[in-house]
Amino acid sequence: MRGGAWPLFGLLAVGACQSKSAQGPTGAQIEIATETGTPLPTSIELVWLDGSKQLRQWRVPEAGELSPGEAGAVSVFVDVEPSSAGPRRVIARGFNGSSPISEGAERLTVPAAGWVTVRVTLAAGSLPDRDGDGVPDKIDDCPAQFDPCSPVDASAVDTRPGPETAGRDGPDGGPNPPDDRPQDLRPDVPPDIAGERPPFANGNGTGLKGEYYDDKVFTPTLLKLTRLDVRIDFNWGTTSPAPTIDSDSFSVRWTGQVQPRYSDTYTFYVSYDDGVRLWVNGQMLINDFVNGPQREKSGKIDLLAGQKYDIRLEYFESTGPAACQLFWSSFWQAREIVPTSQLYPAAFGDGGM
């Protein structure tokens, strides 16, 4: 998950030399560093997994304490109940503002007694993820298939306070509150303990066709750029998408098809500044093509798993910051940026829908 759709809990980033004798009985020290030449992030998102199930997701605002290279690491401490010790995976993602710029991932095993240290090095861009399940191939037991190894996929974040947490006081700040609820319980999606989750259809899409115009009304003669956008997750700030496009007056039309994983009623959300219109299967879900500050609107539509539906998203920027992000969710689908695997571009040379 890359869209900020879940509550994020602060972690303490402290010097890697903190004495382990001052820590709780069991847990992990995660050292986060940047690969040489990789830009430093302004914040870090940390994802903590048991198998392919995402137990926690936190934002580490103290990422500013990072310095270039492996020697400039910061550390995060995660308490684990001794009874829950065992294999874990960790994903760290670096952000510049709301835009992801780097990623790292590692496996580790939390001992029943004592602490383990693992270093996660952020490299520029995103790690390969062939099946699009949110778990990089590097730490995915089934990298070529969507989530066959676990009944709950990596987008299934559990935000409850519980035994695997990290607080600003670090692991020596006292015990975490007990949590006797099943680990598979999720706040937004029913558990798949008895196989209730319906069949899903993971796609092999590559993104949407993006057409960029140097005005706000899609004048054909002012089309300056046509490209493949792997997802709609943009925060241009006060810059523009390309040197030939004005930063304060441009528009973008994304066209292609979207393929739901589940047969369900889907909600599509767009977060944007200034205006957008969204159609799915010819039905207008959002119509807010007016100037305004950063905001979000949504619309619902019934879709069938595996079927491809036409999608068109139109966006314009007037003045000030520019941003546009496309999310979806349903009863079975946790909210996320619509992933690359479920998006198929319109033919290039085709004006779209």
Q: Model-level pTM greater than 0.75?
A: no
Q: Is pLDDT above 80 for 106?
A: yes
Q: Could you give the percent of the chain with pLDDT greater than 70? A: 69
Q: Is pLDDT above 80 for 6?
A: no
Q: Residues 6 or more apart from 299 whose CB is under 8 A from it?
A: 267, 268, 278, 280, 284, 285, 286
Q: Is pLDDT above 90 for 127?
A: no
Q: Is pLDDT above 90 for 331?
A: no
86 or 221, which is more confident? 221
Mean pLDDT of 243-259: 93
Distance CA 207, CA 335 (A): 18
- Mean of the per-residue pLDDT values for the chain? 75
Task: Check: CB of residue 305 under 8 Å from CB of residue 200.
Answer: yes
Q: Which of 71, 63, 19 is nearest to 40 (CA)?
A: 63
Q: Is pLDDT above 80 for 128?
A: yes
Mean pLDDT of 181-196: 35
pLDDT of residue 60: 65
Q: Is pLDDT above 60 for 333?
A: yes
Out of 19-23, 223-227, 233-237, least confident range:
19-23
pLDDT of residue 308: 96
pLDDT of residue 156: 37
How is residue 255 written in tokens? 């066209």
pLDDT-derived band at 206 (thresholds 50, 70, 90) equals: very high
Task: Check: CB of residue 242 under 8 Å from CB of residue 212.
Answer: yes
Q: Is pLDDT above 80 for 161?
A: no
Mean pLDDT of 229-244: 90
pLDDT-derived band at 256 (thresholds 50, 70, 90) equals: very high
Q: Residues 6 or more apart from 325 whose CB is under 8 A from it?
A: 3, 232, 233, 234, 235, 270, 271, 272, 337
How is residue 352 written in tokens? 């779209």
Distance CA 89, CA 82 (A): 17
